[in-house]
Structure 1
Amino acid sequence: MTGEDAEAALPADELQEPAIRVRGLEKSYKDLQVLRGVEFDVARGGIFALLGSNGAGKTTVIKILATLLRADAGSVTVSGVDVACEPAQVRESISLTGQFAAVDEILTGRENLVMVARLRHLPGAGAIADDLLERFALTEAGARRTSTYSGGMRRRLDIAMSLIGNPSIIFLDEPTAGLDPEGRLEVWRAVKELAVQGATVLLTTQYLEEAEHLADRIAILHDGRIIVNGSLAELRQLLPAATVEYVEKQPSLEDVFLSIVGRAK
């Protein structure tokens, strides 16, 4: 049976089921209410950006989705599995890359990848490492200690490590935080590669340009709620085009973000 035949054999409701479904998500830390009924869906495949300022609650959402934190209220399913009821099953289909590269600086790039593959009891750890080094343009640096890597190289290696075991859903929490412009571009290329390979990517970011450049859909998280959610084209329709020297100028994501967040205050 071909991939298309197998897909055609699936029930229509299963085909349409989102990779991630979030409903009524609430979370407080003592008297501080961080999430106030967050709701969104992430379709299978492609890149979904959760955009918001520092302290908006983006990392809290990611931690709940990745089973690292329990919500106070609401429901979350990942690949159709409830994260609160069956966290172990959820973890089998996801990977999480945090805000700081989790690489061992004493080891080489290749040794980091081999170590993770062996910890996951996968056969052919060396071949897995070599394939990922090639995919993320790190082959020449594979024999070097990661302490010699640039910030962008470390993040690319970190993302490569998260792919070991072929997770279908990848969470990237502020993947370019602290990187210089060159490092950010390196990571952007790596993130696009994930989508090309068929993974579903949910990334959090406070960088408007990053969301605009990478995401198929963008949700803006503000004051604990999703205040807008759509494609870049749909978000741009929320503001009228401006005319500058007789040339129509479409609003940027920055224009939309500042307008929407300003109205929500």
Structure 2
Amino acid sequence: ASTTLIQLLDLDPPPTVRSQALYRLGVCRFRTESYADAATILDQYMTENPTSDLLASASLMTGESLLRTGAHREAATHLERVVERFPTDEGYPSALLRLGECLSVMQRWGRAHDIFARHRQSFPESPLWFQSQFGLGWALENQGRHDEAIEAYTDVVARHEGPTAARAQFQIGECLYAQKKLEEAARELLKVDILYAYPEWSAAALYEAGRVFLDLRKPAEARTQFTTVVESHPDTEWARLAQDQLERLGVRRPD
């Protein structure tokens, strides 16, 4: 389909045909995960057709494409257009989630919190509710509002299963660690490895639990956590960090 559309555009068709071909080509590129091309083509479409009935759809796909390429600031501009101008469009819920994601990467925590809150309030039964709920917690945590963040994360842990729940459990431990509630932090971090089968979060949580035990002046417990990371998750960055900690504790690197 893309080849046919490109050939059609090369023929310099009438404006109506050109606009349809541009939009469809952008959609094709988006669906085949050619995100940089999709963003360029759809941006051109919107420039040439600023009052199009497909402006919301084109804006959402452009925003998502730019997000996938790491252009978060540019992505946010297009997603804001959907959020502020097209609240009744079917793509509005997705635009809220992706905009919240962009704003979080940009560390615009107050605005990210507001966007995730809008999604939770507007779409409480959304199958993706846990994404906005976690986003709320992440925005709160990064504003130093740890008690509120723990409350948000706890809702994810209680009602969802999956990697987002594992990460939410991890962040509960991190919030408690930031509050210097060390015994509680260790307990919550260890739950990640016990309750969830997601190695990336188990490794992170065990390493952080080791650090907490060091702060508690419990080197034996810390050594146990660091050793588990090295032995159970050897190919991770957490294993490298854990090995460094073990060497500081006098445990030699294995030959």
Q: Same fold (TM over 0.5)?
A: no
TM-score of the pair, normalised by structure 1: 0.28
User: Which protein is richer in helix relative to its size?
Assistant: 2
| Structure with the greater alpha carbon radius of gyration | 2
Greater relative contact order, per chain length (Cα 8 Å cut-off, separation 6+)? 1
User: Which protein is richer in strand relative to its size?
Assistant: 1
